[in-house]
Amino acid sequence: MSHRFLTFVGLVAAMIAVVALSPVPGEREVARAYTPPRTSWGHPDLQGIWTSDGVAGVPIERPKEVLTEEDLAKRKREQELSQQVDRGANVVWNERELTRKPPRPPALVVDPPDGRIPVTREMQALVDAWGPTHYGIGIDSWEDLDLWDRCLTKGFPTVMLPMGYSNMYQILQTPDYVAILYEIIHDVRIIPLDGRPHGDQKIRQYWGDSRGRWEGDTLVVDVTNFSDKTFGTQQPAGSYRGGGQDLHIVERFTRVEADIIEYRARLEDPRAFTRPWTLFVPLVRDDSHMYEYACHEGNYGLKHILSAAFGRSKAAEEDAKKNR
């Protein structure tokens, strides 16, 4: 498995994938006639294996109607970076076709109405500066790579967005907890339902601190106490897609059909966003099975990423000497 390629596929899929499937923007559930099945203790039954593959390739944001010179320059830079990665890519990791497909919206951001993530100027500048290092370009150390490159975590809520592979989520329930196993990086999130308060704000976690409750047929999860390290120790731009320490997320899981869960997440972070925004991803039931995500920080991918980066730096230095 070429982890550099998988990182590239994941980045592209994430950056070209998420705005609203629902005609109703925001976080409120849509009125439905469907009544979900119940567990033996009476909660709506969300258990099973689900996937976001049904909207793979759907843009996160609606494209701008008018592109500025800055937009065009940024697009050109991104194309150049992707071409560099493509030269060493082995395209074998595409996901299978689903038998049940949800409607494909223009994007997955449902609020604001324009379908654009309301990023602050400060955060956008950090994201732009960080971009090349995500491709392994211009890095000096393993610390410059994000935590997905290092096989530690994909980060949250980025993991809920459809990527090039491993878009599977297994939900398990008890009367007091909901647990979600994520195929990618094999992270497990445990969500208490007993009304306990969030942990001390001094305790920061890559995936934040989750607390759940039921509102009718909807599982509502409040998530706080994030760490700034989700996208790497040198990249404070993590909260652009989730993970900044000021991030607050409210999730809603609503089973609207036998084989569809509507997932909504409302994100707010005063450092990263000018206002709260909401993404919406339909999860389709997939009763195949979860695969092992055999990835660890000492794997060959990290070694090869660093050796390639150092090789490029050495070649650039030699070219500079020749041209003096």
pLDDT at position 136: 65
Contacts of residue 44, Cβ cutoff 8 Å, sequence gap at least 6: 36, 37, 38, 214, 217, 218, 219, 255
pLDDT at position 265: 96
Convert the pLDDT of each residue in 156-205 to its tens digit.
Answer: 888 888 887 889 999 999 999 999 999 988 889 999 999 999 999 999 98
Q: Quickly count: other Cβ atoms within 10 Å of residue 165's Cβ.
A: 22
Q: What is the mean pLDDT of residues 286-306?
A: 80
Give percent above pLDDT 70 in the chain: 74
pLDDT at position 96: 57
Q: What is the mean pLDDT of residues 236-263?
A: 81
pLDDT band at 29, cuts 50/70/90? very low
Tell me which amino acid residue 48 is: G
Contacts of residue 319, Cβ cutoff 8 Å, sequence gap at least 6: none
pLDDT band at 9, cuts 50/70/90? very low
Q: Rounded distance, CA 109 to CA 25, Å?
A: 9
pLDDT at position 190: 96
Give the range among 4-8, 264-268, 300-304 with minimum mean pLDDT. 4-8
**Cα–Cα distance list, 23 to 59, 188, 217, 218, 264 (Å):** 16, 31, 20, 18, 13
Q: What is the mean pLDDT of residues 227-250?
A: 64
Highest mean pLDDT among 83-92, 101-110, 173-182, 294-303: 173-182
Give the range among 39-48, 91-100, 130-139 with minimum mean pLDDT. 91-100
pLDDT at position 82: 54
Q: Quickly count: other Cβ atoms within 10 Å of residue 143's Cβ.
A: 11
**Cβ(49)–Cβ(290) under 8 Å?**
yes
pLDDT at position 166: 86
pLDDT beyond 50 at 62? yes
Which tops the pLDDT comparison, 80 or 35?
A: 35
Q: What is the mean pLDDT of residues 59-86?
A: 70
Sign (positive or negative) of CA dihedral 24, 26, 31, 35: positive
Give the residue carrying structure tokens 């998988």: 6
pLDDT band at 34, cuts 50/70/90? very high
Q: What is the mean pLDDT of residues 137-159?
A: 77
Convert the pLDDT of each residue in 255-291 to its tens digit.
Answer: 999 999 999 999 998 888 999 999 999 999 998 778 8
pLDDT at position 316: 78
Q: What value does the mean pLDDT of the chain take?
A: 78
pLDDT band at 32, cuts 50/70/90? low
pLDDT at position 97: 64
pLDDT at position 90: 47
Please tell me whether the peptide bond between 36 and the residue prior to it is cis, using omega within 30 degrees of 0.
Answer: no
pLDDT beyond 90 at 228? no
pLDDT beyond 80 at 2? no
